[in-house]
Amino acid sequence: MTSAAQLAHDEETTIFARNVTKTYGSGAVAYQALRGVDFEARAGEFVMLNGPSGSGKTTLLSILGCVLTPTSGDVRLFGEPISGQPERALPRLRLAYIGFIFQGHNLIASLDVRDNVSLPMRMRGHSVRDANREAERLLVRVGLGDKLERLPRDLSGGQRQRVAIARALAGSPPIILADEPTASLDAETGASVTHLLKEMAREGGHTVVVVTHDNRIFHLADRIVHIEDGHIVDHPV
Ligand SMILES: Nc1ncnc2c1ncn2[C@@H]1O[C@H](COP(=O)(O)OP(=O)(O)O)[C@@H](O)[C@H]1O
Ligand SMILES: [Mg+2]
């Protein structure tokens, strides 16, 4: 058994979270969505986070992705503490470490595919030219090299999900987080999107965490973590 302290100092551990809680609201309407969660993941690992609707999956992913601050607990990315940081520190941490694939993909409707993918790199300070070159490389990688100038509305659901993946990979953030990326896809497209994410972990050494309750893709995970009522459980019912 490896102790928490050892894991915290293991350089392969990219995500480290101990006893994380999150309470939404306060007083009579307070709701504790996470009730003491331990989680970690390593470079090159492809982890799925599974649990029923309302169990806290999106909340946990958002905390790991520096979108939300935890109410309490210890969260570190590459050893850098992110719990206890003020909200205004989150965007810098997110840009440094995280590619986030949101549920419903969140593409910008008025921007073409290439601009959707290059935007995060431009926000990281790269020139338009470099950002576009990288966007084109990634779009070829996800099989959309012939769709650079299309708008999101001209694409199928699976193609949009691939654009969202390319966007999350732009600038090569070491941690890729995806919230139910296959929920709106047919079985074949869902499997190909999942294979692509797995390849990112395998070949790129990214840490990839996918929230899903899609049992068609569980067999592709290196490890499945189950969450119920804001707790990690060993044996889901
Ligand atoms: N912004 C919020 N304000 C209040 N309650 C919330 C908020 N976001 C989520 N919740 C509640 O927290 C619980 C966990 O939500 P969530 O993390 O979205 O679960 P999942 O992604 O597993 O469906 C749910 O009961 C949900 O209603
Ligand atoms: Mg959710």
Q: Is the CB of 218 under 6 A from ligand 1?
A: no
Contact 75, 236 (CB under 8 A): no
pLDDT tops 50 at residue 53? yes
Q: Is the CB of 227 under 6 A from ligand 1?
A: no
The amino acid occupying position 215 is N
Q: Is the CB of 50 under 6 A from ligand 1?
A: no
Report d(CA 214, CA 75) in Å as an integer.
27
Give the closest residue (by CA) to ligand 1 atom 2. Answer: 24
pTM: 0.90
Q: Ligand nearest 50 Cα, by number?
A: 1
Q: What is the pLDDT of residues 169-212, one digit of tens each?
A: 888 899 999 999 888 788 888 888 899 899 989 988 999 999 99
* Helix or strand (DSSP H, E) at 227: strand 223-228
Compute the distance from residue 126 Cα to the ligand 2 centre, in Å.
32
DSSP per-residue string spanning 126-152: --HHHHHHHHHHHHHHTT-TT-TT--G
Nearest of 209, 136, 189 to residue 166 by alpha carbon:
136
Q: Ligand nearest 227 Cα, by number?
A: 1
Contact 183, 6 (CB under 8 A): no
pLDDT tops 70 at residue 96? yes
Structure tokens at 6: 């050892």
- Domains of the chain in start order, with CATH, are 44-68+85-233 (3.40.50.300)
Contact 177, 100 (CB under 8 A): yes
Q: Per residue, what are the HEC states of 15-83? A: EEEEEEEEEECCHHHCEEEEEEEEEEEECCCEEEEECCCCCCHHHHHHHHCCCCCCCEEEEEECCEECC
Kindly state the average pLDDT of the residues 88-110.
90
Q: In ligand 1, which atom is closest to the CA atom of 227?
A: 22
Structure tokens at 183: 């929920």
Kindly state the average pLDDT of the residues 31-51.
97
The residue assigned the tokens 């995060």 is 120
Q: Is the CB of 212 under 6 A from ligand 1?
A: no
